Structure 1
Amino acid sequence: MKSAVFILILLSFVCYSQKKYPEKYFQSPLDIPLVLAGTFGELRSNHFHAGVDIKTQGKEGLKVYAVAGGYVSRIKIQQYGYGKAIYITHPNGYTSVFGHLSKFKKEIESFIQTIQYKKESYETGNIYPKKDQFTIKKGEVIAFSGDTGGSGAPHLHFEIRDTKTEKIINPLIFGLQVPDALAPTIRTLKVYPLSEGARIYQQNNSATIPFKKTAKRKYTAERVFANGLIGFGINVYDQLNGAQNKNGIYSLEMLVNGKRHYYHDVETFSFSESKFLNLLIDYEYYKKYKRKIQKLFKEEKNKLSIYESLINHGKVNIQEGLNYVIEIIAKDYQGNQSILKIPIIGQSNNAILKKEKDTTNFKIIANNFQKFTEKNVTIAFPKNTFYADTFIDFKVDAGIAQVHMPVIPLDKSYTLTFNVSKYAALEKEQLYIANLEYPKYPRYVYTKKKDSTFYTTTKTLGTYTLRKDSLSPELKMLYIVNNQWVSKAKTLKLKISDSDSGINNWRATIDGKWVLMRYNHKKNILTYNFNDKKLFGSKHIFKIVVSDNVGNTSERSLTFFRKI
């Protein structure tokens, strides 16, 4: 009897610990065959991809359907990020999210335009309609696909979240059908010494290990001679049927002599932990070579919840005189897998070549607030900005501040301050702080100005300087000239650009009243839709003022005629 009770308790524990998701509750958000341009949990810059990117056959304007019944719980329009996005909360405890839309269905589009005109802003921030304001039925057209926000091409960004926790869940778990018969491709293998005494080929440096494909979906690496505590990392991507995109994988596993030593997958995660991606990857390698190596061991400060079944945090202790077989298994969501085998020979440390320790005049104690000043430039790091104690380089030469190299991930932002007391008032107006990661293309960083100091907060180490922008933005009207009749035109467009600090804002009016101009920052085109507002009379005056990030402005105005 007692054993039966124990079995029931054990079974209930297993059922509880393995979350069950409804597989037939949600339908597809599009009525075309689904091909992905991006997978869930894909490694992006400083974050995991929070949904799937569904290709829309290179077009905008495809119907987007509600995947289940519910109500519109949030609407957000932003210039970057998800662009035009809509959130639908469903009664089963989940919320679906649709991003990069071109427009919403008529009632929602009208509702949001009213808010935009009231705020006199294209960006709305988060709008939370009342629960009964927009009830939605499963299969109802809620929007149309587009290319708004930080999209690189037309597609639909689709997410499913837990309504209570806001944790994002892989949409494929809910039964979204995406053909995929292709296994992941492994491109690079690295091995790392993880203690002072560890050696790889008699060195205390990381090494790239050659390997070859020995069979379909199978790879074998050259023998590795090592000793002490080591770890592995691979660069790997996945492809799906019908697409050339190099996507992310679903899971990584490592076996040591047949026993699981490491495992993680991207079933679910929270936005707050996404930043720890920079500890999952070899961040320095990524910044230098633009290729992400996923570590198969867990760093001490890494708080990702994606790990399970870790032995010694995935670190492998190689002992002299023993042989090991490491197997790294990369899988996509459909279970297609590639296996990389690595033979390891435990070798004694006869010749010891240690990695040189970095030492500079600027030592970071991670748990302390620290501040350094060089030649009118100050850097200030809050406690725990860095994940570990380290030395950084900091020098200022000819007004250019080198704050180490951008190869160390930061947990928090630090403050970079320039003393500008030597500049005249007019010069200060035209100055801004620029990042010089690409010296030919200085990038404006948000600059806060006080009388004698300019400062910015950033999570990126690297090179910064003060730049001067005395040029106003360039404006060019498209397809229209002064005093033209435009009765058949659907839109009014102009091209805007700024060669230095970049476009900051714009304000357009027709007959003195604010009008909504949609900005396509990829093509630098502003567009007004004549259907937005009814115009009275036939003669109209259009005026626009465009400002860059230091306040230089340009204006254009013209008269046009349109039949009532």
Structure 2
Amino acid sequence: MRLSKALLFVLFFLNVLAVAQENPYLFPIRPGQQNYLAGTMGEMRGSHFHAGMDIKTGGASGLAVLAAADGYVSRIKVDGGGYGNALYIAHPQYGTTTVYGHLLKFEGAIAEYVLKNQYQKKSFSVDLNPEQHMFRVKKGDVVAISGNSGSSSGPHLHFEIRNAQQVPINPLKLGFNEIKDDISPTVQKIALKTMNNSSRVEHQFGYFEFTPSRLKNEYSIAKTIEVYGEIGISLMGYDQLNGVPNRNGIPNLSLSLDEREVIQIVIDKVPFDITRQVLCYRDYGVQTQGSSNFQKLYIDDGNELDFYTTDGKKGILSIRDTLLHHVDIVLSDVHGNESTVKFKLKGSRPRVTAIKNDVNFKPIRQQVNNNTLVFMGKKAEHNGYFAHVYANRMTYELSSSYYVNDYSVYLWDLRIGLPDSIELCGEMIYPKLEMTVPSGADFKYYKKEFDLHFYKNSLFDTLFLKTDYMDELANDREFFEISDAVYPLKKNIRISFKPQLSYAARDKVAAYFTSDLKNFSYEGGRWSGERFELYTNQLGKFTLLTDTIPPVFKIVSQNSDSFSGYISDKHSGIKSYELWIDGEWILMNHDPKNNFVWAEKLDKSKPFKGKVRLKVLDNVNNEIVYTTQIN
């Protein structure tokens, strides 16, 4: 039977279309078999969005890593942190680059090339860009072995696909059949936040969490929540894939009010230059105070991400009536699994008495929330419940906004002025708010104990600067407080400490961050005359500490075939290390998370022999020199 030309054309077209829609990339681990992920692209990780997917390797290193497509090795990076041993393969036919991270080792000629360059540069850490012709690969070639190098919490392969602009895109959107997923996202909590001091949730100002009930993939809050004004909604939840317990991010969310979509969020690419915007995307203040990650379903001030489609109000709900409103939140993953959250909001004008018996109410002395200073006091029997706010060289009478249990709650708009002090029922409150620091401007602040320099891009949003200084003479320490750690920084600020105490071993002094005045993390810095200069990307409490204790080295093996051990430093941390055997520089590989170092020969046939000298420096140049002899 002969087919007509028209039918042949249709069949040809359908075949071309099918091929065009087919995923052109090979799964880099055990292709054709079911695989499992420990993490997905776009998840909130510390101070960045996760840029790829983490492929499980059975809890062990040693699996073959395959090139996902034809191309050439464009970059090779070795480092103790980050992606550890990482390989980048360019695919000119697609205009993309695939990235393979946390590798145990590179294969064949690639490994030899890296080792040669490490010896030439006398450095474990290298960042190499081979010429295009050097390492051409075919789809399915073994290019590396999976491992646990770099900042990895366990063996896995970090895999990325980047577009022509080197922006990571979501690999799962290409449809890898190796990953199975028929599980809908899980919702844990919903949070409502008042966005200004005239807004209320349940007749109160602040941040309020609600736990929804679940019926299959549908969630609901039985209680009708009374609100007024501008309200921001956040969600805490996760997504899961078949066969593994790992909790992954939710890439697609939408929020609707009365069946009208007010915001849609789609995380399908993550530019590296704005990945720190995750601090705006999540509720950073809530997360730093011990709660889990909440995704904001609104665009906060300073947020420059392009994940959003909105109605023009940035996803913030405005309810200033007394009507019943219906809220719908839809969450979905890349595979189309969907969950919904439904609840009701009732417009209700603020009343003076909020709640008489709120068991969840936690009284606070004072707290800054957005542009509002919140302070509280026991209900007074005199003065008409007025607080006297001293600001702008004037006295303002401020009545309580509402009562909760036995407390009067006062709300002061900081845009009016920063209070020097507040008198409340005969007691004084000192907010210690010293300056309004605008975002998007170069700003300097001078104080007896330190100076601050906020650069144009340091802040996401306006900062109401709170500072303090205290000394702990018993321990010969001083502490410098620059606002609270609950406020994220977009870029670095410069702190010029002007120490009030004396420091004898000045070359061993460094700045440290502390959250509890007991535990300290190294920040760095350097002396500039009598000042100590530090560039940092976080606010909070700092101190200057002297470290005169050298690093520690513990030998594990030393013979003609191997030299290895553990290096550690309890204070400022390891800065560098160098091994010489018989007068020749020897490469020392470093796994910082396990404090382990091991030597690797350039010439595998040549035994280690002769005088051994290992020098280890910490970050303030305390050193230990280990010497021995290998015969």
After TM superposition, the score normalised by the length of structure 2 is 0.80
User: Which one is further off, 253-262 or 455-464?
Assistant: 253-262
Aligned position for 2:166: 166
1:105 aligns with 2:107: yes
Map of 1:427 onto structure 2: 505
Distance 1:134 1:227 in 2: 63
DSSP-derived class of the 1:470 partner: coil
**1:219–1:87: structure 2 CA closer, same or farther, 3 Å change rule?**
same
For the Cα contact (< 8 Å) 1:263–1:310, is it kept in 2? no
**1:219 to partner: Cα distance:** 3.1
Equivalenced residue count is 531
Change (3 A) 1:82 1:436: same
The correspondence of residues 455-474 of structure 1 with structure 2, limited to 5 A, is: 455-474=533-552
State the partner residue of 1:519: 590
Q: What is the rounded CA distance, in whole Å, between the counterparts of 1:122 and 1:171 in structure 2?
A: 31
Shift in Å, 1:265: 1.3
CA–CA distance in 2 between the matches of 1:182 and 1:207? 28
User: Which of 357, 372, 396 is the equivalent residue of 2:469?
Assistant: 396
- Which letter maps to 1:29? P
Report the more deviating stretch, 370-379 or 134-143: 370-379
Would you say the 8 A contact 2:54–2:156 is kept in 1?
yes
User: How far, CA to CA, are the matches of 1:21 and 1:412 in structure 2?
Assistant: 42
Unaligned 5+ segments in structure 1 are: 1-19, 481-485
- Other-structure match for 2:234: 233
**DSSP 3-state at the match of 2:110:** helix
Q: Distance in 2 between matches of 1:545 and 1:57?
A: 37
Specify whether residues 385 and 538 from structure 1 end up closer, same or farther in structure 2 by C-alpha distance, changes over 3 A only: closer
Number of the residue aligned with 1:70: 71
Residue 355 (structure 1) shift: 3.8
Query: Shift in Å at residue 476 of structure 1?
Result: 1.1
User: When you count strand as a share of all residues, which structure comes out higher?
Assistant: 2
- Which residue identity does 2:556 align to in structure 1? L
Q: Any runs of at least 4 consecutive aligned residues in structure 1 with deviations exceeding 6 A, and if so which?
A: none
Residue 321 of structure 1 pairs with residue 322 of structure 2: yes
Partner of 1:297: 298
Q: Which has the larger displacement, 502-511 or 257-266?
A: 257-266
Asked if 1:417 corresponds to 2:496, the answer is: yes
Q: CA deviation at 1:244?
A: 1.7
Paired position in structure 2 for 1:551: 621
Query: What residue in structure 2 maps to residue 29 of structure 1?
Result: 28
Are 1:366 and 1:384, in contact at CA under 8 Å, matched by a contact in 2?
Answer: yes
* Residue in structure 2 matched with residue 258 of structure 1 by the alignment: 259
Q: Is the 8 A contact 1:421 1:451 kept in 2?
A: no
Please list, as runs of the form range in 1=range in 2, the aligned pairs for 1:270-309 lying within 5 A after superposition: 270-309=271-310
Separation in 2 of the partners of 1:134 and 1:211?
Answer: 54
C-alpha separation between the residues in 2 aligned to 1:187 and 1:547? 47
Instruction: Between 194-203 and 32-41, report the one with greater CA deviation.
Output: 194-203
Of residues 226-235 and 130-139 in structure 1, the stretch that sits farther from structure 2 once superposed is: 226-235
Structure 1 segment 3-402 matched on structure 2, within 5 A:
23-31=22-30, 33-90=34-91, 91-125=93-127, 127-163=128-164, 165-177=165-177, 178-351=179-352, 352-353=401-402, 355-357=411-413, 359=418, 360-398=433-471, 399-402=478-481
Q: Distance in 1 between matches of 2:254 and 2:214?
A: 19
Q: Determine if contact 2:449/2:500 at 8 Å carries over to the other structure.
A: no
Residues of 1 paired with 2:593 and 2:344: CA distance?
49
User: What's the TM-score, normalizing by structure 1?
Assistant: 0.90
Deviation, structure 1 residue 469: 0.6
Contact map agreement 1:116 1:123 (CA 8 A) in 2: yes
Q: How far did residue 457 of structure 1 move?
A: 0.8
Quote the RMSD (CA, aligned, Å): 2.1
> Which protein shows a greater Rg?
2
Q: Is the 8 A contact 2:586 2:600 kept in 1?
A: no
Q: Distance in 2 between matches of 1:333 and 1:130?
A: 36
3-state DSSP of counterpart to 1:339: strand
1:501 counterpart residue number = 572
Partner of 2:422: none
SS at match of 1:114: helix
**Distance apart, 1:221 and its partner CA:** 4.6
Q: What CA distance in whole angstroms lies between the structure 1 residues aligned with 2:568 and 2:455?
A: 37
SS of aligned partner of 1:268:
coil
Check the 8 A contact 1:21/1:174 in 2, yes or no.
Answer: no
Query: Which residue of 434, 438, 449 maps to 2:527?
Result: 449
- Tell me if 1:529 matches 2:604: no
SS at match of 1:516: strand
2 CA distance for matches of 1:168 and 1:534?
38
Amino acid at match of 1:394: T
Change (3 A) 1:277 1:199: same
- 1:482-541 Cα distance to aligned partner (Å, 9 max, x none): xxxx45x5x3211111111111110001111111111111211111134x3346577422
Per-residue deviation, 1:288:
0.7
Q: Shift in Å at residue 384 of structure 1?
A: 4.3
